[in-house]
């Protein structure tokens, strides 16, 4: 698809979901849901997924992808994450794939989320901002730098093509749910 | 624990399980199960897990860990993987965390496994052997090089401490199960 | 040696020196010289190297190492980098292996250095600070993340042991000298 | 340029040259010289560089680049590396950026080279072949996996774009020259 950033790498999603530790029935927010890939994967275990993106084309794309995947427990919100979070009651986990007002988003998430918050970042500034905000809120647990390289066949052999490295920042008071 | 190699890194396990794509009810083998960490994680979804290790201390450790985790659908086999596989009927998926006779093991797995086979390797020779065997058997899909680095607090800031890189080699005819 | 941080990794030094592009006769400062390893390597090409460290034990160690290497064109300064730089006239290049007052150091270096400035950083905060300062000064060129892994023999094969990743931040108006 | 593989990454070249440890006056072979980038850099220190490539277009390109760089101490050989090496007397160092008959080339190099041999590889098979050949010849010293990522500006920040990882395999009996 043409959405900026494209879908989350499979391996990054697998690690992010493991860090989230979603349990059956959990309520989870996917902030900056983009293509909906993480929402759809999370919906297999979660009770309800809130997929939020301020881009109409992202919500349209994700909604379509969810329908094709048969995911019926995803609610879509086109709009600002801060506004969405102001109106939500409580969450078990949250995944932030992208957001423009990260410190505010993390402020709200730290109030609403009882379990784990996972942020994906490609920019150094986002990494620093996420760690800084989580430390200020007293919820920082760890950050992971994930460098995935995938095999590619070239003349006579196999080489590894690197994907863009991603930072996975993890926070929260307790295990998810 | 004192077992050689220690438990699979969390992130490597998350990616390996994602590649395996275990479905509810699947029969899965964990060859070279070591601490049992992957067996226990797989047992949450799988129908039955066969945990195989030729080291008595590994089986004892894994059996204890499974009991503590309340995993009741894991069968333990102390002995050679080739012998175990000769006696098994069919499998949906297989994870190979370590094995001494990898080409033979992969030969047998390619016959018995209807879904995905995932090998973890730290040595270049094992990587080459796994790719070579899977290509010979016509089941090679991809290899991934995973370099995980974890944040560590040092004076005044955060740095990233690299874990040993791991190769994840994936094969099989079709999606798991 | 017992100095915090230890000597710069060989590979990181090679890349840092290449980025510096020292020419015969250049005057170069090595800020936070530690063991003196970079100073000694630079002294093979440079005309004069100023090795600066606020730790008496670092200067003692580096001075001894330089003597053993037969490097006679290194001047040692035990003390604060900001004070050293305030008293220096002009430099062709500068390497910053470590410093407590990085923004101030970069301010002064941007005035005194006619060529390239290279900063090594292991902490994310130092990376961000170096980029931010260099951008403010209009001298930021590039940053490189270097992940070196070295082969190690284990039972039956070769694996790669990762070294701590290092950021190499490069600034300056023009080529060195 | 359109040559397969393109020029050696700057950082990989810096590390490779450091491992080679070329001394003033050394005779060095650059096997699979491609664009001539390594030959030209080596020629600044070496006494004589033999740049070998079996592709006419590589030799033409490298010859032109050397002329533009003012490098007058490079001899160019269009042809097979094995044939070139059979006809050469002795070398102080050798760099192998690419070659089709690596085991034979390493056999010959181990006879002719008194100092260090450095091989660059992107394929796992070449890595394995280089290590295996060097071990057989009793000259294997180390292999390094170098993952370089370069900063790139994107909306509002800096991210790191990974380059293709390169293996640097080092062999030889003694220090170069």
Report residue B177's pLDDT band, with 50, 70 and 90 as the boundaries: very low
Residue with tokens 């410093």: C99
* Nearest in space to A116 (alpha carbons), one of A173, A65, A76: A173
Contact yes or no for B132/B108 (Cβ under 8 A): no
**Mean pLDDT confidence for A6-24:** 94
Q: N- to C-terminal Cα distance for chain B?
A: 33
How much is the pLDDT for A2? 59
Give me C93's structure tokens.
């290049």
Q: What is the pLDDT of residues A150-162, one digit of tens each?
A: 999 887 789 999 9
Where in B26-164 does DSSP place strands (E)? 27-31, 48-53, 74-78, 93-96, 116-121, 140-154, 157-162
> Inter-chain contact B124–C161, Cβ cutoff 8 Å?
no
**Other Cβ atoms closer than 10 A to B120:** 25
Separation of alpha carbons D134 and D142, rounded Å: 10
How much is the pLDDT for B1? 47
Instruction: Give me the interface pTM, i.e. the ipTM.
Output: 0.91
**Scanning every residue of chain D, which has its alpha carbon at the shortest distance from the alpha carbon of A154?**
D123
Q: What is the pLDDT of residues B20-48, one digit of tens each?
A: 999 999 999 999 999 999 999 999 999 99
Q: Does D153 touch chain A (CB under 8 A)?
A: no
Give the minimum alpha-carbon distance from C3 to chain B in angstroms, rounded to a whole number.
15
Residue D83's alpha-carbon distances to A49, D53, D161, in angstroms, are 66, 11, 40
What are the residue ranges spanned by the domains of chain C? 10-172
Q: Does A121 touch chain C (CB under 8 A)?
A: no
CA C100 to centroid of chain Cα atoms: 14
Q: Does A147 touch chain D (CB under 8 A)?
A: yes
Contact yes or no for C99/C105 (Cβ under 8 A): yes
> Inter-chain contact C160–B165, Cβ cutoff 8 Å?
yes
Core vs surface per residue B7-30: b (16+ CB within 10 A) or e: bbbbbbbbbbbbbbbbbeebbbbb
Mutate which: C121, C147, C157, C164, vs B, most B CBs within 10 A: C157
pTM for the whole thing? 0.92
Q: What is the pLDDT of residues C17-51, one digit of tens each?
A: 999 999 999 999 999 999 999 999 999 999 999 99
Better-scored residue on pLDDT, A4 or B21: B21
Q: What is the pLDDT of residues D68-122, one digit of tens each?
A: 999 999 999 999 999 999 999 999 999 999 878 999 999 999 999 999 999 999 9
How much is the pLDDT for D5? 67
Mutate which: A157, A161, A164, vs D, most D CBs within 10 A: A157
* Nearest in space to C106 (alpha carbons), one of C139, C144, C145, C80: C139
Contact yes or no for B145/C109 (Cβ under 8 A): no
Q: Which residues of D touch C148 (CB under 8 A)?
A: 144-147
For residue C159, what is the DSSP state?
E
- Look up the CATH number of domain C10-172: 3.40.50.150
Separation of alpha carbons C87 and C84, rounded Å: 5
Separation of alpha carbons A51 and C123, rounded Å: 34
Q: What is the pLDDT of residues A83-141, one digit of tens each?
A: 999 999 999 999 999 878 999 999 999 999 999 999 999 999 899 999 999 999 999 99
Report residue D151's pLDDT band, with 50, 70 and 90 as the boundaries: very high
Q: What is the pLDDT of residues C91-144, one digit of tens each?
A: 999 999 987 899 999 999 999 999 999 999 999 989 999 999 999 999 999 999
Give me C163's structure tokens.
């070294």
Burial environment of residue D138 by CB neighbours within 10 A (0 to 12, 13 to 18, 19 or more) = exposed
Core vs surface per residue D56-88: b (16+ CB within 10 A) or e: eebbebbbebbeebebeebebbbebbbebbeeb
Separation of alpha carbons D131 and D128, rounded Å: 5
The H or E element containing residue C168 is strand C166-172
Separation of alpha carbons D100 and C104, rounded Å: 53
> Inter-chain contact A128–C125, Cβ cutoff 8 Å?
yes
Residue A1 has pLDDT above 90, yes or no: no
| Interface B-C: count of C-beta contacts within 8 A | 52
């Amino acid at each position: 698809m043409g959405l900026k950033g494209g879908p989350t790498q499979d391996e990054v999603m697998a690690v992010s979901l493991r860090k989230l530790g979603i349990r059956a029935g959990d309520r989870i927010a996917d902030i900056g849901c983009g293509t909906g890939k993480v929402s759809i994967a999370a919906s297999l275990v979660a009770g309800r997924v809130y997929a939020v993106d301020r881009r109409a084309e992202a919500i349209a794309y994700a909604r379509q992808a969810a329908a094709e995947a048969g995911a019926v427990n995803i609610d879509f919100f086109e709009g600002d994450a801060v506004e969405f979070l102001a109106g939500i009651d409580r969450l078990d986990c949250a995944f932030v794939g992208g957001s423009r007002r990260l410190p505010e988003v993390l402020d709200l998430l730290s109030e609403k989320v009882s379990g784990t918050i996972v942020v994906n970042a490609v920019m150094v500034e986002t990494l620093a901002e996420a760690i800084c905000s989580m430390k200020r809120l007293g919820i920082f647990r760890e950050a992971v730098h994930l460098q995935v390289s995938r095999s590619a066949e070239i003349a006579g052999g196999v080489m590894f093509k690197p994907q863009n490295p991603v930072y996975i920042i993890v926070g929260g008071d307790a295990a998810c749910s």
